[in-house]
Amino acid sequence: MVSSNKLKSMDFYRKIPRDLTESSISGAGLSIVAALAMMFLFGMELNEYLTISTSTSVIVDNSSDGDFLRIDFNMSFPALSCEFASVDVSDVLGTNRLNITKTVRKFSIDGNLKTTGSEFHTGSVAHAVKHGDDEEGESVEGAMVLNAHNFDNFAHQYPILVVNFYAPWCYWSNRLKPAWEKAATIIRERYDPELDGRIIMAKVDCTEEGDLCKKNHIQGYPSIRIYRKGSDIRDAHGHHDHESYYGDRDTDSLVKTMETLIAPISVESKKLALENKADNATDTMKRPAPRAGGCRIEGYVRVKKVPGNLVISARSGAHSFDSTLMNMSHIIHDLSFGMKINSKVLNDVKRLAPYLGRSHDRLSGREFINRHDVGANVTIEHYLQIVKTEVVSKRSYEHKLLEEYEYTAHSSLVQTVYIPSAKYHFELSPMQVLITENSKSFSHFITNVCAIIGGVFTVAGILDSILHNTIRLMKKVELGKNF
């Protein structure tokens, strides 16, 4: 059994009797300074231990081959009608998706970017538009010619006014012309404008009546509009001023449509044609016409993570466009890549990397206006280079906190021989930024605290010894003692 004396011999901290020690004012002052220094350094070390540290590295993008990238957008086009606005996506792998509607919403807007009604529904055409190309016989001018002076009079005179807005140079207008004139002649004979007075078919040459066509928001040729008498006094709660016809363009189809329109209207009353509730096949061929000449387009698309294009332009398989009159000026309210990030999550992650979130919507709030200084046929192009950023935490177990896509943008106005458009060329970087949250060891914190206490205590002891011996030396010199 180990004796107590042998055990005491292992004591590293032997005690000196208190009556053999001597206290001093200088030692007390130094002790106070040492204690304050220990507290200050301990606080600094504790703050360092509690502060989150990160490391940033650049690695090869670890996305899998089947991953898709989501593009969210919200843009206003003051001079592009929702009737023909199309969102298209293509990439270098051969993907080519035209006129995406499932995840895209459109709203007609005025010149002040104010929404003029409910959502504009483009609808779908189940088959190619049929034309009366095989019809024979002389083309008889059966449609009434309208201009800016008599248009309003006719619109208020007849319960139903159907107008063909056309351009003589237009291929589709020329294909429609024989059937339109023949149908107008048949309708005029069956429903005499003077005796019956329920319907009249007319036409407007947009090359001569540009202001009238612009007033009616005509951007594609031919555009067939259906005006109902009195619709101009009922524009609240989403009611439209007129409708657009997208059905077949042969004589029989046109005549059938006209007869369907006037069926609910009696000859005697010639009432306002506002309550047409006919449930027939022609309803699928008629849709509310845009109430303004602009369009706000919002929604999202999913694309492969390869270089590609997001294109917004006027598109139709049965209309022509005058490219010299197209203006693709637009205002970007939002354009971002990847899933939307919750603001709370983003704020939490910004504690790790305060610079995050500065470039994920770089173009938001920007305006790109073509004031015709560079001429007509102008396409506005944006070149976007996208970099993926991941934030990973390793505090308890490794998990992903955030995945964000930031981008740089360069824009330009380019003249083109094609229909003007707004193009967004995007390309993802093969590299990604990885931000890792590093955990700190508690044992390292304890070691540093011990080092602080021991170091300050030792340094204070050395300073106290030097100060004490210096004071003693000075006293001996003053007393004249030899040593």
pLDDT at 390: 84
Identify the pLDDT of residue 275. 46
* Residue of 170, 206, 213, 295 marked catalytic: 170
pLDDT at position 239: 39
Average pLDDT, stretch 317-329? 88
State residue 298's pLDDT score. 95
Mean pLDDT of 15-19: 71
Residue with tokens 């590295």: 57
How much is the pTM? 0.75
Q: What is the mean pLDDT of residues 63-75?
A: 88
Query: What is the band of 359 on the pLDDT scale with cuts at 50, 70, 90?
Result: confident
Q: What is the pLDDT of residue 138?
A: 55
What is the per-residue pLDDT for 204? 95
Percent of the chain with pLDDT over 70: 81
pLDDT for the residue numbered 87: 95
Please provide residue 14's backbone torsions phi and psi, each rounded to the nearest 5 degrees. Answer: -70, 140
Q: Is the dihedral of CA 171, 173, 176, 182 positive or negative?
A: negative
Categorize the per-residue pLDDT at 374 as very low, low, confident or very high, splitting at 50, 70 and 90: low
- Asked if 172 and 233 touch (Cβ cutoff 8 Å), the reply is no
What pLDDT is recorded for position 203? 95
The predicted-structure confidence for 398-428, as pLDDT tens digits, reads as follows 566 778 898 999 999 888 888 899 999 999 9
Mean pLDDT (the chain, rounded): 82
Confidence of residue 256 (pLDDT cuts 50, 70, 90): very high
Are the C-beta atoms of residues 310 and 301 closer than 8 Å to each other?
Answer: yes
Residue with tokens 């067939």: 224
pLDDT for 238 beyond 60: no
Q: Is the pLDDT of residue 376 over 90?
A: no
Q: How far apart are CA 296 and CA 458, in angstroms?
A: 73
What secondary structure does DSSP assign to 371-403, as a single string? -STT-SSEEEEEEEEEEEEEEEE-SSS-EEEEE
pLDDT value for 348: 65
Higher pLDDT, 282 or 262: 262
* Cα–Cα distances in angstroms (integers) from residue 442 to residues 39, 55, 342, in the given order: 19, 19, 32
Handedness of CA 393, 398, 404, 408 (dihedral sign): positive
CA distance 340 to 65: 22
Is residue 226 within 8 A of residue 245, CB to CB? The reply is: yes
**Contact yes or no for 315/88 (Cβ under 8 A):** yes
Write the pLDDT tens digit of every residue in 176-224.
999 999 999 999 999 988 888 889 999 999 999 999 998 888 999 999 9
The most confident of the ranges 11-25, 38-52, 81-95 is 81-95
| Per-residue pLDDT at 124 | 55
Higher pLDDT, 176 or 370: 176
Query: Measured between alpha carbons, how far is 435 from 388 in angstroms, rounded to an integer?
Result: 11
* Residue 357, pLDDT above cutoff 80: no
Q: At a CB cut-off of 8 Å and minimum separation 6, what does 135 contact?
A: 178, 179, 182, 250, 251
- Check the CA dihedral 337-340-345-348 and report its sign: positive
Sheet harboring 144-145: ordered strands across? Answer: 144-145, 199-205, 160-166, 223-228, 242-245, 286-288
Q: Which residues contact 95 (CB under 8 A, 6 or more apart)?
A: 89, 303, 304, 308
Instruction: Respond yes or no: is residue 450 known to be catalytic.
Output: no
Count the neighbouring beta carbons within 10 Å of the beta carbon of residue 282: 17
Residue 172 has pLDDT above 90, yes or no: yes
| pLDDT over threshold 50, residue 105 | yes
